[in-house]
Amino acid sequence: MTEAEEIRRFWGRLGLPGLVDVHTHFMPERVLRKVWAYFDSLGPLTGGLEWPITYRKEEAERVALIREFGVRGFTAMLYPHKPGMAQWLNGWAVEFAARTPDCLHTSTLFPEPGVEVYVREALEAGARVFKAHVQVGAYDPASELLDPAWGLLAEAGVPVVIHCGSGPAPGKHTGPEPVARVLARHPRLRLVIAHMGMTEYEDFLDLAERFGEVRLDTTSAFTDFCERFAPFPRRALPRLADLGDRILLGTDFPNIPYPYIHQLHALERLGLGDDWLRAVCHDNAASLFGL
Ligand SMILES: [Zn+2]
């Protein structure tokens, strides 16, 4: 059986029309090559872990593959590591979304003058999801520069996938505290905490319990790879069950050091049941994005 067949069997058994994956990386080719070089070099982004990329393929092949898996909605998570880059990335994302209708038009932002203007433009251009990377960007998400942009996003109800936990490696502004300050000012902001908030899983579950629009994506959490250095605490499993309508499948495709199906099996073996899997792997994101 091919991997695609195995994946289709997974969602077929659940009676789903496919998967929705809110955390996949598509970006300009030369930026993606740099990201791969970074993973190859065991840099601080990976916490010094060996990180072989499973799906190191051309863009067209990657898009074809994710469609073969039966992923009916996915994203183009891109993110700047410095000022002056977000707007250019957003321009690329507009084109990518136009030629890839099953990709949710994704945009990004950075604390810099003019951010409010280009976030507004992105929303007007139809952006359906944003990505913020606190670790790579090395910024405080509660920075005053970002405040008007968070306000616009909260008002528009457009979700923001935010890498803000301290895994696989901490950053100057990672962890729950800066995000809590953002939410105190923008309680309706639809933050999707990437990687379940790894390594501060329970603190981010606290935030999701306090703020009804906060969600979490499963990206790389519960996999053998991450359980080795950032095990999800078993005592928090009942909280995952209770938050079952606000947990969204994410995988980090294609930048993962294991096959895609492993993320699905890692969710299945949590033992939270088929209803939970249906919600997480498809229904929650389908209703959030109106798919
Ligand atoms: Zn990612």
pLDDT digits 0-9 by tens, 6-34: 999 999 999 999 999 999 999 999 999 98
Q: Tell me the average pLDDT across 23-52.
A: 84
User: How many whole angstroms from 117 Cα to the centroid of ligand 1?
Assistant: 25
Mean per-residue pLDDT of the chain: 95
Which domains, from first to last, does the chain contain? 3-289 (3.20.20.140)
User: How many whole angstroms from 249 Cα to the centroid of ligand 1?
Assistant: 12
Contacts of residue 266, Cβ cutoff 8 Å, sequence gap at least 6: 221, 222, 223, 224
pLDDT of residue 50: 82
User: How many whole angstroms from 39 Cα to the centroid of ligand 1?
Assistant: 12
Q: Tell me the average pLDDT across 35-42.
A: 84
| % of residues, the chain, pLDDT over 70 | 98
At 160-189, the pLDDT tens digits run 999 999 988 888 999 999 999 999 999 999
Six token digits for residue 14: 């659940």
Strand residue runs (E) in 198-244: 215-217
pLDDT of residue 273: 98
Contacts of residue 250, Cβ cutoff 8 Å, sequence gap at least 6: 21, 22, 23, 24, 161, 192, 194, 195, 217, 218, 219
What pTM value is reported for the model? Answer: 0.96
Q: How many CA atoms lie within 13 A of 116 on its CB side?
A: 9
Least confident of 51-60, 192-201, 202-211, 218-227: 51-60
User: How many whole angstroms from 252 Cα to the centroid of ligand 1?
Assistant: 5
pLDDT of residue 44: 64
